[in-house]
Amino acid sequence: MPLVAHTQLPTFERLRQEGEEIVEPERAQQQDIRELHIGLLNMMPDAALEATERQFFRLVGACNQIVQFHMHPFTIDGLPRSEKAQAHIDAYYEPFAKIQQDGLDALIISGANVTRPRLPEEDFWTPLMAVVSWAKENVTSTLCSCLATHAVIEHCYGIARTRLPAKRWGVFAHKLTDRSHPLVAEINTRFDVPHSRFNEIFQDDMERQGLKVLAVSPKAGVHLAVSPDGFRLVFFQGHPEYDAISLMKEYKREVTRYYDGDLAESPPFPENYFNKNLRHHLTGYQHQMADARNNGLAMPKFPEALLLEHLDNTWRDTAKAVFNNWLGKIYQLTNQNRRVPFMAGIDPENPLSL
């Protein structure tokens, strides 16, 4: 059901132009429909800040529950911001204090860039853990993405992530390990998910601490897992929110870093993403890039237009189904008159007993 444009956040207009159903507050007030209030703690760097808004808003808005979705983006201290990005945040994001006062039915926490060897050394660690601690007591379910998954699992279960020999980057096939869990009801038993990370938390370590692993790739590892109670914390190691072009944009940024001298070698292609013909064209582009870099020439134009028409999204339907299941369960567990963690009579240690 529709997203409600309850603020002037530009993402609402951008999604409306893409064909998404966006409801104005006046119309929403005239509808006799339940509301769900969902927080988005957006920690992504400036280049991906607004794209991340759109990606998660799309997945929420695509759900078919009979409900109005009110999205509440916010962020935390400890994340460096450009003047432009900070202006966007100041204009359209809510203070965490207001989030705490008003309450949420659900919370999504995005990934972030890191600069330190260990996550607890990051400037954003303490503010992030303050949000996590509040959410554990006051939000029905929190969904963590990528870096947030690693940080919350380390904080809650003491499992530090492991640095991989090379970046896990591309689109990978996954299979369900537990078909009975409500989060994966009625989804394909095999499905794709993009990954983009240098670190991993392994299945054995998760299961040793009582986490329930729901979807795994033999090449990319765990994608989907949940806390021991089955619902309060949901963990993504992959990026099901990505658009079809997201990995291409990342590849373009890596190529630019190579030209600028930040990388010693030209970046590899994301796995299982560019088809054979695109890899052939990009190999030629890499040679042009290396020649320009070595001879002080202008950076050759990235062939984005050529790539766009050949990029496929093979994960969105499954991502929508998982979000639909997640928000559907939250709809059942929350009180329609006020935002509370659980309805009366629900055991917070076993919320799936409803």
CB 71, CB 92: distance < 8 Å = no
Q: What is the dihedral of CA 275, 111, 329, 13, to 10 degrees?
A: -80
What is the C-alpha separation between 123 and 99, in angstroms, rounded?
A: 21
Q: Give me the count of residues in the chain.
A: 354
What is the C-alpha separation between 67 and 45, in angstroms, rounded?
A: 31
Q: Active-site residue among 50, 154, 241, 250?
A: 241
CA 291 to chain CA centroid, Å, is 36
Residue 241 among the catalytic residues: yes
Residue 150 among the catalytic residues: no
Cβ count within 10 A of residue 23: 21
Query: How many alpha carbons lie under 13 Å from residue 86 in its C-beta half-sphere?
Result: 7
Instruction: Indicate the pairing of strand 162-176 with strand 212-217.
Output: antiparallel
Sequential DSSP letters for 47-101: HHHHHHHHHHHHHHHT--SSEEEEEEEE--SS----HHHHHHHHHHPPPHHHHHH
Q: Active-site residue among 37, 72, 146, 200?
A: 146
Residue 63 among the catalytic residues: no
Backbone φ, ψ for residue 8 (5° rounding)? -90, 15
What residues contact residue 305 under an 8 Å CB cut-off, 6+ apart? none
Query: How many alpha carbons lie under 13 Å from residue 319 in its C-beta half-sphere?
Result: 26
What is the C-alpha separation between 51 and 47, in angstroms, rounded?
A: 8
What is the C-alpha separation between 184 and 164, in angstroms, rounded?
A: 28
Q: Active-site residue among 70, 72, 150, 239?
A: 239
Catalytic residues: 146, 239, 241
